[in-house]
Structure 1
Amino acid sequence: MIVPAARVMLLTLLRDRGALAMAFLLPPLIFVIFASIFSAAGGDQLRLHVGLADVARSPATARLVQVILQEPTLRVTFGESAGSEDVRRLVKEGAVDVGLILRGDLNARREGAPVLLVTHEARAIAGAIMAGHLQRLLAVHMPDVAFNQVLADLEAVGGITSEQRAWIDETFREKAAGTRDDPRSRTIGLVASESALPQNAGWAVSYYAGAVAVMFLLLAAVQGAVGLIEERRLGVYDRLLAGPGGIAGILMGKFLFLVAQGTVQAALVFATAYLLYDVDVPASFGSWLVTTLAVAAAASALALALCSICTSRQQAQVLSTFAVLILSAAGGSMVPRFFLPPWLQEAGWWTPNAWSIQAYSSALTPGSAFASLSLSWIVLTAMAAGALLLALAVSLRRRSV
């Protein structure tokens, strides 16, 4: 009995393409995605997107700009005429991971750090990573700046004579070339940091609220839409199709219900974020509501399209698990997108997750540009419309839902 039982299970598995994919295709595919994420986060493949502005326009800052632009581990957005507010806006809108403002001469010994790091609370670790990058770049490519900072510290402590200063300058010039491979040079006093947003503990949580909301909206929408297959099998639609509206009416009814269900689910997630983590949803309720409707519409339409293609409930459940895991991993619902390698960040824009996270971030950020938010709404709405048309086309071809 052992061998026949095993043989039956083997034949069942071989005949079920969905089960085969889940058993043998999904695990290596998920591994490739997460291996790419963690190898990028733990090595030199992590390429932060940096917004850069040279406000000081001194010879030293011009050198630093060139060093940063040529650094292969960074992706830089830089404009000759860019100012401090341009960088702050890019960080606030999520267009870059961290901002870098060169606001003073690096060799001047004045009050205030000449380099300003602008961070976003949802990507606070990016600021610490960029500070480490900056320290390394100065140590390797501009050691004279670090030496000048040591002089500034000496002068601040007790002062040095002009003869001592001349001797130190000459010594440092002679030793500068020998320190290029030594990463221990100091940047203390060169760099200050500020947040692009008002101080609020909820900014970091708002990212994860959007990421979790879209992932569970996709999962719940599929569970609701999979009823199409069961109702089709039981013959429920044979009677419904005789009524007005036909297939299109049935699909639209299902779609509207799933959108309403998704809106309530997202509201519960963000209500929890508001009550427990001070995410100020009421201050941006209008933008949040439109964003939620767009996200729920995209998730619901994609679920209906997927279930229209499938021929059995089991096939739909397997395929939906496969699809939601891939979309969530590539779209930033599992790991923040700036940890992803560049190729995966670009691929993520083909998922509803990335656009949903971007839309929620813009909607909940005060002063965020409407253009960024409206683009996310347009893309999510286009995804919903395209998926609904696909579901309708497949259903009409089969002459039943």
Structure 2
Amino acid sequence: MATSGNSAAASHVGKVRANNQDSAYAGSHLFIVADGMGGHAGGDVASAITIKHVAEADRSFESADDAAQVLHDTLLAANGILSDTVIEHNELTGMGTTVSGMIRVGNKMAMAHIGDSRIYLLRKGEMTQMTHDHTFVQRLVESGRITLEEAAVHPRRSVLMRVLGDVDASPEIDTEVFTTEPGDRWLLCSDGLSSFVTEDKIAATLRRVTDPRVATERLVQASLDQGAPDNVTVVLVDIGDDESSAHEPPIMVGSAASPLSFEPTIAKKPVRLPNLLLHPLKATQPDDSHFEPESDEYYQAIIREDRRRVRNRRISWITFITLTIAAITAGVILGYQYTQQQHFVGSVDGKVAIYQGVQQDIGPISLSHVYQVSDVRVVDLPLYLRASVENTINATDIEDARRIVRMLSDAQIP
């Protein structure tokens, strides 16, 4: 946790990860979050290199458009540095990072973004996501293929379309300029927060907690309360009446706050980023996503996979419902057959009778019926036997029931 003026930054390794692959920076003008990918191949190195390089753009600009262009170019340069680093250190092959950053220029915010880290704006109590997730699931949502609810549990929800790394010499980076005003609260975060804490809860925390340091602590804790299998990093910027949102000295958190180390933890054959497992989106043991370059072929493959998944899910549900109905039906039949093997002695129309079934009803359904009526009248029986018949007498089988009737016949009062 660190704070600087009207900004604060926090990063936590989470409850499952062995190392923190997130990095963040909060300075006088620049605020940025990076979520490294590549696991032990160097996700922490990728985010740290990127943040340390982009931090050089933390200065004043004449216009927000100039700031946006510099931020864009600086990220492209960082992408080249990552590629060069992999050439020099083969053990880092496959490393990459998402980046979401912004530079304040007066009443403007110049933004640059790639990947699935996010920037939110809380204005007058209403929170809005200002960035666009570069994931295949987001594209499926926008094309109307799946709903937001389906996206939250989609098996490919973490497949990224764009990242910085050694996979694309000129990745497409979103840039945009927004107007900001006093009272605005800007939140930058890795998906360790946005994937585990609902937007409603994030907004409620930002509305309720005015101190930026405490607010970042609460947001990180909210992710930890959900199990936080991924690293979680948060940068919070409050806009005051003056043109400054932060004060010196600048602050770094996450892997960027530590010295860079290129030593591999496990010697293994280098693999390319499309085959690597990246970060998780469920509060369980990490089931990481991977990067796929933007291509219509892969998009169509995802659609076909969705259709198969929906079809298989329908077949599974139909099979489950059919088997359940069959099991219930079989249980009812077997249960009814069992009841019809039972007998007891009672009375009907003033005479002793043998009943087949059990002395219970299921709603309007009776589980017994008169099997045989004798000539023995209940009023001719002694009082103690009369009471027994009226309360019914259980029999072990039909022959035992007939024996009871004969006994009652012999006991009639002349």
TM over 0.5: no
State the TM-score bracket (shorter-chain normalisation). Answer: under 0.3
Higher relative helix content: 1
Q: TM-score, normalised by structure 1?
A: 0.23
With structure 2 as the length reference, what TM-score do the two structures score? 0.23
Larger Rg belongs to: 2
